[in-house]
Structure 1
Amino acid sequence: MIFLIVGCEVGFWVLLVTGLATRYLLRARRLSNVLLLSVPMVDVVLLAASVVDLRSGAPASPAHGLAAIYIGVSLAFGHQMIRWADQRFAHRFAGGPVPVKAPKSGHAHAAYERGQWLRHLLAYVVAAAVLGVFTLLVGDVHRTLKPWSVMVPWGLVLAIDFVISFSYTIAPRRRRGI
């Protein structure tokens, strides 16, 4: 299962870079669209493989929990990562505008950090929902406890991220040099 997760991560970036290279270097817009639209299929492959693995009687493990995390993070942050890469590729290879950077200070930075935390929360909720589906499909709560074990440390990280992200609302970061 771990190899499949790593393979999906590699597949995500290969499809993304190939799609962007096809768009900006080869100027093949249709093929580029097909490649970029296939990026989310990596999540579908991972989800389907995880379900098949569990339904075939494989012991549920923290690796299945990592698969759920991968899917949650991909759904919450995937579009943002693709947009980030697209802006940089367009700027570098197609004369596009300089990519807009995230705000570094003030209220705009605080709002950005809150938004990023909300994405993090969405990733956590999606991962929990995927684990819930795994549990329902297996039909044995005790057999699926190990995948849920990844949610505890991630919950701690989410809480720490909340404190840091929302601290900028109370005390916005000041601009350097002031």
Structure 2
Amino acid sequence: MKYGKARARKERKKWYRHLLSWFIGGGILGSMILYMNHYSQTEALVQILFLWSFILVIDFVVSFSYTLFPKKS
């Protein structure tokens, strides 16, 4: 297990990967929503996108907390 700056760097790198996957997956979901253009049929997709965005924010807080409060050995 890494500690200090190395751990913070590792957590940030994981969050950047999560952000990239959010852009890719969100872009696909967003394209599907816009293509169908019918809110009642795409409501579940919109909810998934909002949930994933909320999880991304939580992951951001946790990942960058290691930068502000490094884990000690």
Q: Which residue of 1 aligns with 2:28?
A: 130
Q: Which residue of 2 aligns with 1:170?
A: 68
Structure with a larger share of its residues in helix: 2
Cα RMSD for the two superposed structures: 1.6
Which secondary structure does the structure 2 equivalent of 1:128 belong to? helix
CA drift of 1:107 comes to: 0.4
Q: Percent identity?
A: 38
Q: Work out the CA distance in 2 between the residues paired with 1:105 and 1:170.
A: 13
Contact 2:12/2:63 (<8 A) preserved: yes
Q: Give runs of aligned pairs for residues 1-178 of structure 1, distance below 5 A.
A: 104-138=2-36, 140-142=37-39, 143-175=41-73
Q: Work out the CA distance in 2 between the residues paired with 1:137 and 1:154.
A: 20
Identify the structure with bigger relative contact order (alpha carbons < 8 Å, sequence gap 6+).
Answer: 2
Equivalences, count: 72
Which residues of structure 1 form unaligned runs of 5+? 1-102
Q: Work out the CA distance in 2 between the residues paired with 1:153 and 1:144.
A: 14
Amino acid at match of 2:53: G
Larger radius of gyration: 1
Moved over 4 A (4+): none
